[in-house]
Structure 1
Amino acid sequence: MPMPKPDSEIERILIVAAHPDDADFGLAGTAAQWTDAGIEVTLLCLTHGEQGARPDADIAAIPALREQEQRAASAEVGITDVRFLDGYRDGWLEPTFDLQRDIVAVIRDVRPGRLVCQSPERNYARLQASHPDHLAAGDAAVRAAYPASENPFAWPEIGVPFHHVGEIWLMAHPTPDHAVDITETFHRKVAALHAHASQTAHRGEELEGFLRQMSSRMAANFGLPEGRLAEAFAIVPLN
């Protein structure tokens, strides 16, 4: 079973997600611990999540709204560097070379020791977590981390030196092998997801119950004591 590097050896982390709120569902509790430890965390959203709207919504206003909500949510867990790519349509995301190049540019700029992204492998037990955009985002991010980012001959026109990412953490993987106890930061995960009001306001207090149920199940799967809460990942070393 691969073991992640100790957080004390990590200075910078890049999180790549398809849509606003994806990262908060996947690892807000863990991210809060990282920022509390002084690690610089950057969040990159590949789309503005414009399809995450009710049928009667003003679709033209959704991208700006969801960006604003993501920045507010990220602030709840201590992330101040929140970035969005332009030109990629929610619902139509594919792991194209253009998308890989744009992620490589951010990797080389941020220079993370750890990259977190969505799993490119479909999880049939949690199919909603394997939205096609999530799979595409994960595939593009993994390809960007290895080998493209560390290959000096891949997109040298980016103008930033190549960079080796030490490890990848995959969210919503079918067979996670590492859990982070988020019991102490769970309330910040809840606050972050409440900040995505356009997506979660209709769930009211039910949202916290849902998150607690999912986090309790993950903790139990990894043998944590009763009452503990966790987020789970698959670890991919790149050393």
Structure 2
Amino acid sequence: MTVLEVQGLVAGYDRIEALHGVDLTVARGEAVTLIGSNGAGKTTLLKSVAGLIRPWRGTVTWEGRDVTSRAAERRSRDGLVLVPEGRRVFAGLSVADNLRLGGYHRSRAERAETSAEVYDLFPKLSERRHQQAGTLSGGEQQLLAIGRALMARPSVVLLDEPSLGLAPKAVAEVTEVLCELVRRGSTLVLVEQNAHAAFKVAQRGYLLDRGRVVLSGPVDELRTDARVRAAYLGETV
């Protein structure tokens, strides 16, 4: 069942068009990755889906409803949640308080139940629940950003470059967490320049180039494409 659909999306900044009629579908329980070079339009697409950018043309349909004009905060409250590039944790607040803010619109009982699930998924966060978020390592902050998003009990999680700036060990840890979310049935849309990590998480992918989808399909097929192998997997073809 399709839970998220983008049709003919055109978007940009000021007078500069960054997306030129992009189409995208995501099924419930599926992990889909968006790969491409800097400036390909990946983050613009994700922000358009999240409601942070108002598309010039086209539609975003989520769970059968046209949400193209719906405000970002309402999309997040309803379950279309973005984990932003750069993590954006509240550095001066504790881990526990960051998580509470992620579920601000939920009841106290729901927050307690979901935070227990998050701590079970991220033992490191449980150990550091009273620690200020700004004192965590980059990898731990990324786990916290993901955990904060999960506090909203989302139906779709949008992740923008979760491996950016992390050491290889932290990248591996974050990747395994995302794989576990997929195993648990979460629906993910993953923007990632690290194609090796993205292909471990996702079942299907889209290659963007200069604001257009130039290739899409199962990740096993993307791996065999000469463009992907040369530009994103570092292989000689």
TM over 0.5: no
**Higher strand fraction: Structure 1 or Structure 2?**
2
**Higher helix fraction: Structure 1 or Structure 2?**
1
